[in-house]
Amino acid sequence: MASHRSTRANLLPFCAAGLVAALALSACSGGADSESGASGDAGAASGGLDLKLGTILPQTGSLSTLGPPEIAGVDLAVKDINAAASGLTASVTHTDSGDTTTNIATQSATSLISQGVSGIVGAASSGVSMTIIDQITSAGVVQISPANTSPDFTDYDDNGFFWRTAPSDVLQGQILGNKVIEDGKKNVAILYMNDPYGIGLAGELKKTLENAGVTVAADITYDPAASNFTSEIGQVLGTSPDALVVIGFEESKVIFSNLATSGYDFANVYGTDGNYGLMQPGDQPDIAGAQFTVPGVKAPEDFQAKLQELVKSQGSPELTTFTYAAESYDAAVLMALAALQGGATDGATIRDNLKAVSEEGTKCTTFKDCADLVAAGTDIDYDGLSGPISFSDKGDVTEATISIFKYSTGNESEWVDGVTGKLS
């Protein structure tokens, strides 16, 4: 589709009056709407700005492992925004995205829009976002996904309301392909789920491999709703690949079990952000040697500690992965900064200021420091926890890091590298 994104106006900074006290976060309950942060009237009562946010993130479904760190990232951002006493208070209502086998995301979008939110963080799945993007953006609500990587969103007709803090899979496909090439693989099989995420990433991966002269021995798609994948695995292993790339979500657990039964060496298996973190210490099969690419930098230790402290205070389980937590945090902070600069919290104002607060100004790395600069009339460039961000005219980040994780015996995983690349 041709792009119809509106021009990102660099409006005059707004200096908000009054100090607003930080408000405590309430715990997020799974499966139903739950609210964290400031009450709906707090900002208005103080004469400042009241920013109502929502999330549509996976509390259930095939990407439910990504939900806890993403939700915690948004909650921590709301806490930091309210502690900054900038004249803007934020609140967030969490809803479930489910996956593409359900209609949960549509119901969540309807609920949040009816509540008058100005911005939504989510969804995690590209396929899920494709089912709700028109509903959200046509309502004049900003949607920032912390995890959508399908290239299809770049030129989507969204009137400038869809953004993402995760890079397009054009970059992940290139870096994953280069990793496979650097490991000396020559005959590679690709097994990928049949949805926008799987199709887009597999396409970029295949292009990178073939451009380097690597043989793509098998290029097999599968239905993620299937109960077993023995036929597809038989097809890919029948080509005797020296590397197998699996691109999928929670169903990858079944695929890994099938591979173990077939005796395939996991040292030759590669995965992506959709199936990284599924296998936890002590789980079977043991996938020691498998490597995964995950968009984003390694979550800083102090950020991880703050997230763990936050979920503990909410009575939630300790986080076992931090995938897309930083991208979720930055999505909420960017919307708050855009509202501050524009002097209003409606979706159109946020949309028209998002690009401006992400580039070409005085660099700042926390909401408070950035908000102080905005109050002083200074043009800002927010560099977040997930990277420099710098949005393109189409709402994509123009530079990003892809992290590489590797599993060892016992399904312990560790970060081994981060590769930074640029997107046009």
Cα 291 to Cα 405: distance, rounded to the nearest angstrom: 6
- The 10s digit of each residue's pLDDT in 89-105 is 999 999 999 999 999 99
Number of domains in the chain: 2
- Residue 320, in any domain of the structure: yes
Tell me, yes or no, whether 246 and 378 share the same domain.
no
- What phi and psi values does residue 145 have, to the nearest 5 degrees? -90, 135
Is 18 within a domain? no
Domain presence at residue 139: yes
Residues 184 and 327 in one domain: no
Q: Are strands 187-193 and 142-145 parallel, antiparallel or unpaired?
A: unpaired
Residue range of the domain that includes 343: 34-167+298-393
> What backbone phi and psi angles, to 5 degrees, belong to 241?
-70, 145
Listed residue (282, 280, 367, 387) closest to 326, CA to CA: 387
Residue 24 lies in a domain: no
Cα 256 → chain centroid: 24
pTM, 2 dp: 0.80
Evaluate whether residue 251 is within a structural domain: yes
- Is 27 within the bounds of a domain? no
Residue 261 pLDDT > 90: yes
Same-domain pairing of 143 and 61: yes
Quick one: DSSP state of residue 38? S
Q: Is the dihedral of CA 306, 297, 93, 96 positive or negative?
A: negative
State yes or no: pLDDT of 342 exceeds 60. Answer: yes
Question: What CATH number is associated with residue 189?
Answer: 3.40.50.2300
- The predicted-structure confidence for 196-222, as pLDDT tens digits, reads as follows 889 999 999 999 999 999 999 999 999
Instruction: Please report whether residue 372 resides in a domain.
Output: yes
Average pLDDT, stretch 233-252? 96
Over range 353-363, report the average pLDDT: 96
79 shares its domain with 174 = no
Average pLDDT over residues 38-52: 58
Among the listed residues 397, 419, 402, the one whose alpha carbon sits nearest the alpha carbon of residue 153? 397
8-17, 196-205, 303-312, 402-411 — which is least confidently predicted?
Answer: 8-17
- Residues 290 and 146 occupy one common structural domain: no
276 and 410 share one domain = yes
